[in-house]
């Protein structure tokens, strides 16, 4: 038991540090679920309208691959929450994993855990405490969500099953966090590994869910997010599936504990290798340094975006496979035929890819602040490097990086959809154009980070909150009947819908101009303020 000494103290420390973060996250999730359920109930009052809405959803490969299938077309609960089932589960998983890494590897990397470890602290205390905090958070989050749904009048069994969907996703990824925290010396890299696992899980379930002939449905069962979905809240409430994520968590935690036993405090699994004793001749400018700092993560994201593009294009070419019933066929005709549906699918997916690329842009631009607070900007700015050049080096990485990512995804989707439809020469330029029109909105959000960095550097992480807000407006704005003025706040809503839609220059120019103005504001204010 001495291996666990001090766990209680660490739990209290973690709760104290996260006293704002955790309640805020819980509130956001509960409100999101309750709001979505309420809005849907108001919208679909009779069974017939629900069935039609559910059928339309199930007939759309874009929606099914993005959110999952609606198992019971008559179920009000499922229709209310299908957008939050897999998607919400992924977000809860991300939260759970970040919490674990934040209280284990991040503390270890900063050296703070070493300070504590010199006191009476068991070898497993930090990980156990982090797991208790993380799993406790998702359990409370899931239960409160279930209670809120019951309060709105949804069936109790289904509401609890929905809560369990989120809880189990949280548990699975708390386990992932526990394991990746043991592998690398840096918390950033550990979170990167989690993101990869999360992305692969999401894609696996997308492949399984959107299998039109049912032959590859089993692929969903390879994904932790897929397991959570298979609880099928409001459509059978299969509680027994919960055992799968529980076993997964137990397995990963056992692995993590075994690794802790074998490694030193502060060390990862991979020993750092010595590097060059002299700087390469090219390492002579802030831009060269920025490239060194950003390139690792850019390669990883680039690879993921290539796979994502190929996958999206591949699903798009199977759209007609979704048209299995007469009613679906009728619906397809009403929506403009297979070509129109394929284009609608591709433009929706490109929009999602654009959102993901923005996350890269925000993260890359936030480097400015982390370099400043880690006191790594100071020695550079004490050389011949001007503030403008230093800022520009990271901003350029963020802007060109997002550009490269979105074009890679566009190329991938063009190649794979073109290959299966037999018109690569036609499809590739169309998809590259569809990718390129996403850029102004992505750049605007990235530029927002830069503006905050200059104007209010302490608030710069609020960029994530703004990004989340734009995302919610995009996902739920129409459902919640928000006023058009509010919906217009999200830059993503102004992006021309390509392929298939009409291209208008005005919004593209306007978004680019706003992005440029924000960048200029960030630069001028940064040049005038104190560093540190």
Partner 1 sequence: MTSAIVVSGLHKSYGATHALDGLDLEVTTGEVHGFLGPNGAGKSTTIRVLLGLLRGDEGDVSLLGGDPWRDAAQLHRRLAYVPGDVNLWPNLTGGEVIDLLGRLRGGLDPKKRDDLLRRFDLDPTKKGRTYSKGNRQKVALVAALASDVELLILDEPTSGLDPLMEEVFRQCIEEERQRDRTVLLSSHILSEVEALCDRISIIRRGKVVETGTMSDLRHLTRTSIQAELSAAPNGLASLPGVHSLDVEGNRVHCEVDTAQLDAVMRELAASGIKSLVAQPPTLEELFLRHYEDDSVAAS
Give min distance, CB of 367 to partner 1, in A.
Answer: 11
Q: Is 120 helix (H, G, I), strand (E, B) or coil?
A: coil
Site for partner 1 in 231-250 (CB under 8 A): none
Give min distance, CB of 460 to partner 1, in A.
Answer: 18
Give min distance, CB of 300 to partner 1, in A.
Answer: 14
Which of 490, 352, 475 lies closest to 39, judged by CA? 475
Output the DSSP codes for 293-341: HHHHHHHHHHHHHHHHHHHHHHHHTTGGGG--SHHHHHHHHHTTHHHHH
Burial of 497-507, coded b for 16+ CB within 10 Å and e otherwise, reads bbbbeeeeeeb
Q: Hey, what are 179's tokens? A: 């394991």
- % helix / strand / coil in the chain, to the nearest 5? 75, 0, 25
Give min distance, CB of 386 to partner 1, in A.
Answer: 4
Give min distance, CB of 264 to partner 1, in A.
Answer: 12
Which of 16, 46, 215, 383 binds partner 1 (CB under 8 A)? It is 383
- Please report whether residue 458 would count as binding partner 1 according to CB under 8 A: no
Which residue, 49 or 110, has its beta carbon nearer to partner 1?
110
Which of 119, 274, 425, 483 binds partner 1 (CB under 8 A)? It is 274
Which of 31, 459, 489, 531 binds partner 1 (CB under 8 A)? It is 531
- Please report whether residue 8 would count as binding partner 1 according to CB under 8 A: no
- Please report whether residue 279 would count as binding partner 1 according to CB under 8 A: yes
Q: Interior CA angle at 188 toward 190 and 248, to 5°?
A: 20
Task: Pick the stretch among 59-67, 337-345, 383-391, 504-512 that binds partner 1 (CB under 8 A).
Answer: 383-391
Query: Per-residue x/- marks for partner 1, 64-93, CB under 8 A?
Result: ------------------------------
Burial of 298-329, coded b for 16+ CB within 10 Å and e otherwise, reads bebbbebbbbbbbbbbbbbbbbbebbeeeebe
Give the phi and the psi of residue 46 in degrees, each rounded to 5: -120, 160
Site for partner 1 in 254-273 (CB under 8 A): 272
Site for partner 1 in 168-227 (CB under 8 A): 185-186
CB 15, CB 130: distance < 8 Å: no
Which of 286, 354, 457, 477 binds partner 1 (CB under 8 A)? It is 286
Q: How far is CA 32 from the centre of its chain?
A: 16
Query: Per-residue x/- marks for partner 1, 418-457, CB under 8 A?
Result: ----------------------------------------
Q: Hey, what are 144's tokens? A: 């409160």
CB 178, CB 127: distance < 8 Å: yes
- Please report whether residue 384 would count as binding partner 1 according to CB under 8 A: yes
Three-state SS annotation for 154-178: CCHHHHHHHHHHHHHHHHHHHHHHH
Give min distance, CB of 436 to partner 1, in A.
Answer: 32
Q: Residue 502: left if φ>0, alpha if ψ -120 to 50, beta else—which one?
A: beta
- Please report whether residue 387 would count as binding partner 1 according to CB under 8 A: yes
DSSP label of 223: S
Which of 376, 461, 465, 509 binds partner 1 (CB under 8 A)? It is 376
Query: Per-residue x/- marks for partner 1, 287-306, CB under 8 A?
Result: -xx--xx--x----------
Q: How far is CA 426 from the centre of its chain?
A: 31
Which of 156, 265, 269, 375 binds partner 1 (CB under 8 A)? It is 375
Q: What is the contact surface with partner 1 in residues (CB under 8 A)?
A: 109, 185-186, 272, 274-280, 283-286, 288-289, 292-293, 296, 374-376, 378-387, 528, 530-532
């Amino acid at each position: 038991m001495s291996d666990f000494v001090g766990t209680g103290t660490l739990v209290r420390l973690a709760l104290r540090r996260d006293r704002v973060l955790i309640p805020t996250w819980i509130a956001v999730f509960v409100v999101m679920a309750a709001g979505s359920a309420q809005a849907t109930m108001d919208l679909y009052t009779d069974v017939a309208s629900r069935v039609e809405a559910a059928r339309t959803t199930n007939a759309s490969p874009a929606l099914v691959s993005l959110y999952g299938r609606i198992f019971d077309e008559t179920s009000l609960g499922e229709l209310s929450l299908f957008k939050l089932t897999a998607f919400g589960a992924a977000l809860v998983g991300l939260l759970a994993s970040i919490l674990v890494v934040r209280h284990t590897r991040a503390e270890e990397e900063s050296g703070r855990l070493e300070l504590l470890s010199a006191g009476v602290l068991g070898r497993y205390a930090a990980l156990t405490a982090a797991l208790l905090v993380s799993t406790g958070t998702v359990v409370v989050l899931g239960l409160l969500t279930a209670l809120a749904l019951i309060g709105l009048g949804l069936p109790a069994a289904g509401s609890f099953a929905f809560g369990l969907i989120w809880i189990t996703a949280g548990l699975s990824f708390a386990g992932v966090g526990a394991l990746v925290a043991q592998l690398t010396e840096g918390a950033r890299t550990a979170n990167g590994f989690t993101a990869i696992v999360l992305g692969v899980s999401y894609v696996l379930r997308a492949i399984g869910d959107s299998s039109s002939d049912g032959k590859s449905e089993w692929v969903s069962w390879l994904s932790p997010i897929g397991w959570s979905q298979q609880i099928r809240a409001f459509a059978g409430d299969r509680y027994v599936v919960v055992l799968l994520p529980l076993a997964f968590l137990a397995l990963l935690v056992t692995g993590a504990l075994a690794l802790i036993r074998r490694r030193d405090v502060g060390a990862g699994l991979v020993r750092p290798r010595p590097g060059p004793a002299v700087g390469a001749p090219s390492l002579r400018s802030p831009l060269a340094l920025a490239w060194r700092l950003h390139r690792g993560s850019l390669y990883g994201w680039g690879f993921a975006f290539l796979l994502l593009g190929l996958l999206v294009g591949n699903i798009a070419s199977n759209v007609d496979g979704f048209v299995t019933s007469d009613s679906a066929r009728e619906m397809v005709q009403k929506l403009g035929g297979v070509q129109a549906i394929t284009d609608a699918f591709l433009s929706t997916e490109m929009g999602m890819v654009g959102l993901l690329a923005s996350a890269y842009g925000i993260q890359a631009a936030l480097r400015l602040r982390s370099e400043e607070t880690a006191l790594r900007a100071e020695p550079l700015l004490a050389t011949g490097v001007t503030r403008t050049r230093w800022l520009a080096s990271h901003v350029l990485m963020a802007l060109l990086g997002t550009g490269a990512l979105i074009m890679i995804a566009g190329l991938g989707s063009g190649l794979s959809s073109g290959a299966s439809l037999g018109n690569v020469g036609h499809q590739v330029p169309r998809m590259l154009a569809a990718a390129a029109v996403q850029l102004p909105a992505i750049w605007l959000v990235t530029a927002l980070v830069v503006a905050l960095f200059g104007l209010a550097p302490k608030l710069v992480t609020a960029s994530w909150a703004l990004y989340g807000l734009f995302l919610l407006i995009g996902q739920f704005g129409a459902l919640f009947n928000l006023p058009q003025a509010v919906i217009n706040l999200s830059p993503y809503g102004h992006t021309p819908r390509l392929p298939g839609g009409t291209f208008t220059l005005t919004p593209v120019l306007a978004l680019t101009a706003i992005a440029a103005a924000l960048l200029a504001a960030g630069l001028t204010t940064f040049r005038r303020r104190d560093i540190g």
